[in-house]
Chain A
């Protein structure tokens, strides 16, 4: 069963895709500890992106991977640019939409 190997291989080939990807947070895992922002060599406030669930679309991002590697909770990962639509990543909006769709279902 090669699936796990494939996923791991994706990790290994990360370097190759760095240039074409953003740092993307999984907001629900983040505890706002600030390790990412502290370790970003050019001072991007990665934590703020994690709070909002927004990818780091700062053109200054070196895609050095420092924030991804240092986050103690696996919040951050690199994702190819074309794999998501940024407007869908508004975390609060998403939550609100989800909760309100539930509301609709209730009635």
Chain B
């Protein structure tokens, strides 16, 4: 009987269990997790904050599902991997190392912390997991004013959550616009305007210097320019980093994340990595990159699981894409759309991909209709990325066109003509492509 051990019960870990079970009915699967809750929807935390769902809705699997998977959950933190004798030391179970034949590291990522004076005060929060969400909800009951610093999707999810709970929100941006390395200026402005409409106070060119406490709790903040702001909650979303320490300490090859080959195998043949923690080769850019996205975590976990069960399979990275809500506006980000750094983020954000910023030589074509905005990045003969805000009619089309590297030469010149109705042009092209080349679909 084979022993499979999975560290982390996120979508990567769970998908690995499913893949293993599909091919090995009798092997033992142990899932080690340091959160007591097991598998739940991390992106769903945003909707827990807004009150759209309750806690129990976060859990996709029933007891029956777990029975079906036949996996054992071990609550505790994996402290050390000992590749030489194929064991994992788990906190609170140190006298009984867990033995593995095949191991998966699916430890996800964790929020980066700030180190400003006062950062340890009660009332300074982040949003990584269910405990964090509970903390924010509890604090929001009493809090009148909150400050949010950071960028990307998570910062706005916290903003939205607090606004919907009746907390007055200030949002500090270091630069002159929101998410400047993924969105273009118009897109940033669309989001900012909507935030202002919701009553959010955005402070541009403003940086947090110090959090001021009163009896151990947040009472206000001071900016680098010396301005003071009274508040009782400070939420930080300045990016995440892969939880690669465990892999690092056991001598596995790491870079920004845990380095894997296209079978998702680490530098140790019996140890695999998947999800936010894995640094995976991306054929679109020719680089090895990080994603912090649900779907790739699941797909990678599944492929790693297949390999662990002896079904040699390669992971083929699709262009990254994410559908999300920014200031209540449904937004799809596909492939490469921006470049450079964002002063509000120290690393990759949640729901992010390094691919989004791998903008090679491409020309942007864009068009506005009402609040709906469409931007596509036109390469020499393909579309390499796109952002669809508002009406999502075309997001699937653009995703398939980017993913399949469809030759867009017939409409390329049109796409780049200023003022062209981009939506119609792409819809028309898409309809024709679908009917003439339907076999390439999905």
Contacts and interface: CB of A to CB of B under 8 A. Distances in A.
A106 B283 CA distance: 14
Contacts of A7: 393-394, 427, 431
A83 to B, nearest CB: 12
A3 B431 contact: yes
Given A1-B421, A31-B44, A32-B44, A99 B323 contact: no
Contact of B60 (A2, A29, A51, A75): A51
Name, among A4, A7, A38, A92, the residue most crowded by chain B CB atoms within 10 Å (CB to CB).
A4
B393 A32 contact: no
Given A1-B427, A3-B424, A96-B306, A38 B325 contact: no
Contact of B427 (A3, A75, A99): A3
Contact of A3 (B19, B324, B392, B430): B430
Interface in B290-324: 294-295, 299, 302-303, 306, 311-316, 318, 323-324
Given A3-B430, A106-B314, A31 B424 contact: no
Contact of B395 (A2, A47, A74, A103): A74
B135 interface: no
Interface string B1-43: 0000000000100000011001000000000000000000111
A46 B396 CA distance: 20
Given A3-B431, A33-B47, A103 B53 contact: no
Name, among A8, A28, A34, the residue most crowded by chain B CB atoms within 10 Å (CB to CB).
A34
B416 interface: no
A98 B316 contact: yes
Nearest to B45: A33
Interface string B51-62: 011100111100
A102 B424 CA distance: 34
A26 interface: yes
A48 B393 contact: no
A101 to B, nearest CB: 10
A26 B425 CA distance: 24
Contact of A26 (B54, B318, B396): B396
A37 interface: yes
Nearest to A8: B393
Contact of B393 (A11, A31, A73): A11
A95 interface: yes
B83 to A, nearest CB: 26
Nearest to B58: A34
B76 interface: no
B43 A31 contact: yes
Interface residues of B, number: 48
B57 A34 contact: yes
Contact of A102 (B54, B316, B332): B316
Interface string A1-38: 11111111001000000000000001011111111011
Contacts of A99: 303, 306, 313-316
Contacts of B423: 4
Contacts of A75: 323
B53 A35 contact: yes
Interface string B405-430: 00000000000000001011101101
Interface string B382-410: 00000000001111100000000000000
A92 B60 CA distance: 17
B250 interface: no
B330 interface: yes
Given A37-B57, A48-B60, A73-B324, A4 B394 contact: yes
Nearest to A47: B60
Contacts of B392: 74
Nearest to B421: A1
Nearest to B43: A31
B427 A35 contact: no
Nearest to B388: A74
A74 B425 contact: no
A1 B425 contact: yes
A72 interface: yes
A17 to B, nearest CB: 16
Given A4-B393, A4-B423, A74 B323 contact: yes
B399 to A, nearest CB: 9
6 contacts: A3-B428, A7-B394, A28-B295, A31-B41, A74-B392, A92-B302
Interface of A: 1-8, 11, 26, 28-35, 37-38, 47-48, 51, 72-75, 92, 95-96, 98-100, 102-103, 106
Closest 8 CB pairs of A and B: A33-B44, A3-B427, A1-B424, A34-B57, A31-B43, A3-B428, A4-B427, A73-B323
